[in-house]
Amino acid sequence: MTRPDFLPAPPTVNPDLLLESYDYSLPEDRIAQNPVVPRDSSRLLVVKAAPDYEHRIFRELPELLHPGDLLVMNDTRVIPARLYGRKSNGTPVEVLLLEEQTPNQWLGLVKPGKRLKPGATIEFGTADRPLLTATVIAVDQSTGGRLLQFDLPAEQSILPLLSQFGQVPLPPYITESEADPEQYQTVYANRPGSAAAPTAGLHFTPDLLERLRQQGIQQTFVTLHVGVGTFRPVEATDITQHQMHGEWVEVPAATVDQINQTKAQGGRIIAVGTTSVRSLEGTAAIHGTLQPYCGKTNLYIYPGYQWQVVDGLITNFHLPKSSLMMLVSALIGRQRLLDLYQIAIQDQYRFYSFGDAMLILPEAVQ
């Protein structure tokens, strides 16, 4: 039996689609534990046409954008979504509410999960007189969470009660924070529903927003209630196999009109945060073009994505191997993003939720 003179080359694997390609090492002291004061004194890495970049301060944003540009912001408000209760036998229970499914029925992550099977009850309040009770009615296979039915009349929302029973949840990598809960809200947050903050917006102050308006840089709002879709880790080796969990979004007609008018006049759409990106692009993906929308989006953006609405982005520095890194890589390229992260680490930038920011200008977008 004769052997061929050569063997076929193995198939080429696109590194942009491999989870390991989005890894990087971050010194622990680069993880910001507290926000800077004032908010707009955070640092800003300005990403220009490759290979140019610039180190600035966030308050200098009006100098970096053009009159006629439009900032699109997520006006969601973080709710006191972390609750501490106990089972009827006294076992302590921790619940992180993610999203409301039907009136007073919530999807939540629970600890210890194995002990909270359907039918289990959780009591919140004082040990001798519980003030709020939830029953586990099902296990959510996609998240490993639980569907919890709170013992309240349908016409009574649990949201006003959360301030009594819950705490604003900080991410697990923030372990030594002295931040006030309001510092984990944007100054324009007004629609309660998020389990986490849209952190790119944390850098804005009322004064900065006013200076931007005076410069001819307008602002408009979308709402995306941040849930498991945003912070769920990517585990699939082939990132295209990752499934995004849907999150509730609203893109109002007034916002669509303002975006269309901005584009018609030659202005640029600058999304503030990856949640604003997913609100706009997710809505456009559903309809084929940007239209008013209220519902869920599970749009997953990674390199190769064809942009429809967004021209530039303000964003923080994200966790390794996260879907957020993949989204930003779809704008400027994975290798360039990793190179910029190394520059930021070497230059002592602060990372993650309370950290510094990047401004990706439209000329940097691939």
Look at residue 115 in the predicted model and tell me its pLDDT: 76
**Would you state the pLDDT for residue 154?**
82
pLDDT of residue 48: 98
C-alpha span between 110 and 215 (Å, rounded): 47
Lookup: tokens for 224: 């995306």
Is residue 184 within 8 A of residue 168, CB to CB? The reply is yes
Same domain, residue pair 162 and 263: no
pLDDT, position 141: 87
Q: Is the pTM of this model over 0.75?
A: yes
Per residue of the chain (366 residues), give pLDDT as tens.
Answer: 455 566 665 667 899 999 999 999 999 999 999 999 999 999 999 999 999 999 999 999 999 999 999 999 999 999 999 999 999 888 999 999 999 999 999 999 999 877 789 999 999 987 666 689 999 999 998 888 999 999 998 889 899 899 888 999 999 999 999 999 999 999 999 999 999 999 999 999 999 999 999 999 999 999 999 988 787 889 999 999 999 989 999 999 999 999 999 999 999 999 999 999 999 999 999 999 999 999 999 999 999 999 999 999 999 999 999 999 999 999 999 999 999 999 999 999 999 999 999 999 999 998
Q: Are residues 92 and 152 in the same domain?
A: yes
- The verdict on residue 151 lying in a domain is yes
What local confidence, expressed as pLDDT, does residue 6 receive? 60
> Which tens digit of pLDDT belongs to each residue from 126-185?
766 668 999 999 999 888 899 999 999 888 989 989 988 899 999 999 999 999 999 999
- Out of 167, 192, 217, pick the residue that ends a domain: 167
Do 70 and 97 share a domain, yes or no? no
Let me know whether 234 and 353 are in one domain.
yes
Exposure string for 267-287, b = 16+ CB within 10 A, e = fewer:
bbbbbbbbbbbbbbbbbbbbe
Please tell me the predicted confidence (pLDDT) of residue 273. 98
Is-contact 309 259, C-beta < 8 A? yes
pLDDT of residue 40: 98
How high is the pLDDT of residue 353? 97
Q: Which of 146, 167, 188 is at the close of a domain? A: 167
Cis amide prior to 51 (ω within 30 degrees): yes
- CB proximity list for 267: less than 8 A, separation 6 or greater: 66, 68, 69, 70
Find out whether the peptide bond into 38 is cis, omega within 30 degrees of 0. Answer: yes
Q: Provide the pLDDT for residue 364.
A: 98
Residue 240: name the closest of 288, 286, 304, 285 by CA.
304
CA torsion 109-114-116-118 (nearest 10°) is 100
DSSP secondary structure of 90-155 = --EEEEEEEEEEETTEEEEEEESGGG--TT-EEEEE-SSSEEEEEEEEEE-TTTS-EEEEESS-TT
Give pLDDT, residue 231: 78
**Does residue 40 share a domain with residue 67?**
yes
Alpha-carbon span 97 to 75, nearest angstrom? 19
Total number of domains in the chain = 2
**Per-residue model confidence (pLDDT) at position 94:** 94
The pLDDT of residue 37:
97
Note down the domain range covering 123. 82-167
Asked if residue 94 belongs to a domain, the reply is yes
- Residue 8 in domain: no
- At residue 89, the pLDDT reads 85
Which tokens is 6 given?
Answer: 């050569």
Residue 155 in contact with residue 69, Cβ under 8 Å?
no
Question: Domain for residue 108, yes or no?
Answer: yes
Name, in order, each residue with C-beta under 8 angstroms of 129's C-beta and a sequence gap of 6 or more. Answer: none
Q: Would you say 181 and 295 are in contact if contact means Cβ atoms under 8 Å apart?
A: no
